[in-house]
A and B are shown apart, each in its own frame.
Chain A
Amino acid sequence: MEPSSKIFYGALSLLTLAALGAGLVAAGAEGLAFGLFSVLTLGGALVCIWERSVVRSAFSLMATFLGIAGFFVLLHADFLAMAQILIYVGGILALILFGVMLTPPDLTERKISRVLGGLVVFGLGFAWVGMRVAESATWAVTEKGPAEGVNNAKRIGVGFLAADQYVVAFELAAVVLTVALVAAVYIARRRRADLEPMEGQGGGA
């Protein structure tokens, strides 16, 4: 492992311990879970940026997806959490991996100056966004947590089927997706048709 990676992963594990400890002190078991999920989400994203191998980056995205699903569980939105895992981890990530699996890693040495430059740019950008958010956002704090023990599937179903609710928007989204799918198949098929005469020429020559 190159020295800059050692520093990166060392800092990441220290941050993990700090987040877990802070969560535990602040809110007990639930805080510990929150700390764990935030470390998964942010850590996965950071590793995704840091790693030179595209496949490793893709694998680290799984931690991010799982961490976000964990946040949904903490908010008692189990349906969303499971949909997040099923669609992002089981579907999209598998497809991403299928696409990038054959790319070789970039094994050239990292330049420390470029890493530091990137850190400075990232820090300044993050600070600017953070300040803008802090001054403009109003943080709603409620004593009442999200409802526990509610059957989310039933509520989503009622939300779809009740009059003037979301069913039309949902169906339209489905139509858009179907159109995109059909278009993708059409483009892929046309390329193959273009190739066929060339094969025929090759056979004749």
Chain B
Amino acid sequence: MGFLQEKVAELGSGTNLIRELLAGAPRPELVPDWAIPLTAVFIGVGILLAIVSLCAMFGTWLERKVSGHIQCRYGPMRAGWHGWLQPLADGVKLLLKEDLIPLGADRVLFVIAPALVLSSILGAMAVMPLAPDFFFADAPMGVFLILALTSTTTIGVIMAGWASNSKWSLYGAMREAAQVVAYEIPLGVSLLVPLMVAGTFNLSEASAGQAGGFGIFGWYIWPVGFGTEGFSLGNPFMIPALVLVFVAVLAETKRAPFDLPETESELVAGFLTEYSGIRWSFFFMEEYAAMFLYCVVASFFFLGGFNSPLTWVFEDGGLLPNVFLFNVMAFVTIVVKGFLGMFVMMWVRWTLPRLRIDQVMTMGYKYLTPLSLLCVLGAGLWEWGKWMIVG
């Protein structure tokens, strides 16, 4: 920790720590130039894989605890304090389970599908900044890239359903295709509202735009904000946009009440029916990582991103300016916000009954799509009016 602290202080804020550490690493003469970016990619993917697994581990534990307490029981209690070692035990079990490929399955696609699903979420995660000075890719296209790469998950799920050569799986895959195509439009369109307000696709820039106001009142979600430049008028369409994004994200991540592709009570387990062992767990790692990622994106564009009272204390020009502690607190803030979002998604899952497939389609095409278009129109007119009057 001491080394990191010195390094951050030496570089100053706004520098990518990972890149600096890699560029400064000593290397022997034998290593050619092209090996450096390649190694960086491998190290980055390794770290991302660790993040995805941690998300899935904590996510499964949280899901079991939340569902337990909602149903007036404890959930896992045996493995460790309040069952916190349960995900590790599950992981060992999944690794040791037989990896079954059905005889009639399309073997190649059956094997590729889980890898495709997991790699799409790894790619999308690379854009997510972990702290202001700690990120993998500071893509100017940030949130657009996340939307694009997570949409390839769909193809993986369809591939899994088709390759299983089972009727349940195929039905699950068809539902996934129909559902995702329906909900991708409202998700993308209602995300345009904060993009218009922030004026950027980049997650770090959006977070920087919400600084000030004790780390809370500068957020884009408030109709009247109090940021670094004093009081300012926000956009009232942000709140409906957040609701629309939340519903669309529930459908995109196949979470109940939109878990039609894997409905246990109708389709056994949908596209997951024929999967077992570690390949099965890949789909769940993707699901929890995608939930976390979408919640983090929503918190970056609606709920302040890195800004919280914790970071407000340590930021530049705050009460106790300290670059290192600022970064640590920003990381804590974003993780807490992400998991709070996940908690709400679980809460919804264990409270609401599942929709029927025709209700899902009606909801997507007849309600969410027009509402999100109206929301964008309203937000655009509001921003235009503000620009005409205030300048």
Contacts and interface: CB of A to CB of B under 8 A. Distances in A.
A101 B170 contact: yes
Given A82-B141, A152-B140, A90 B184 contact: yes
List the 9 closest pairs (A to B, CB-CB), nearest first: A90-B151, A29-B34, A28-B34, A86-B148, A85-B148, A82-B148, A98-B177, A78-B141, A29-B37
Contact of A85 (B38, B140, B149, B178): B149
B153 to A, nearest CB: 9
A126 interface: no
Interface in A24-77: 24, 28-29, 32, 55-56, 59, 62, 66
Interface residues of A, number: 28
A101 B160 CA distance: 12
B309 to A, nearest CB: 32
A79 interface: yes
A32 B34 contact: yes
Contacts of A66: 152
B147 interface: yes
B141 A79 contact: yes
Contacts of A86: 144, 147-148, 151, 188
Interface residues of B, number: 33
What is the predominant secondary structure among interface residues of chain A facing chain B? helix
A95 interface: yes
B145 A90 contact: no
A22 interface: no
A1 B177 CA distance: 29
A59 B159 CA distance: 8
25 contacts: A28-B33, A28-B34, A29-B33, A29-B36, A32-B38, A59-B109, A62-B152, A62-B155, A82-B141, A82-B148, A86-B144, A86-B151, A89-B155, A90-B148, A90-B151, A90-B180, A91-B151, A91-B181, A93-B155, A94-B180, A97-B177, A98-B178, A101-B170, A152-B140, A152-B141
B106 interface: yes
Contacts of A94: 154-155, 158, 177, 180-181
Nearest to B139: A78
Interface in B16-49: 32-34, 36-38
B34 A82 contact: no
B121 interface: no
Interface of A: 24, 28-29, 32, 55-56, 59, 62, 66, 78-79, 82-83, 85-86, 89-91, 93-95, 97-98, 101-102, 151-153
Nearest to B151: A90
Contact of A98 (B141, B147, B181, B201): B181
Given A89-B152, A91-B181, A153-B140, 12 more contacts: A55-B162, A56-B106, A78-B140, A82-B147, A85-B151, A85-B152, A94-B154, A94-B158, A94-B181, A98-B174, A101-B158, A101-B174
Interface in B330-354: none
B173 interface: yes
A46 B149 CA distance: 24
Interface in B110-164: 139-141, 144-145, 147-149, 151-152, 154-155, 158-159, 162
B162 A101 contact: yes
A84 to B, nearest CB: 8
B109 A89 contact: no
Contacts of B149: 85
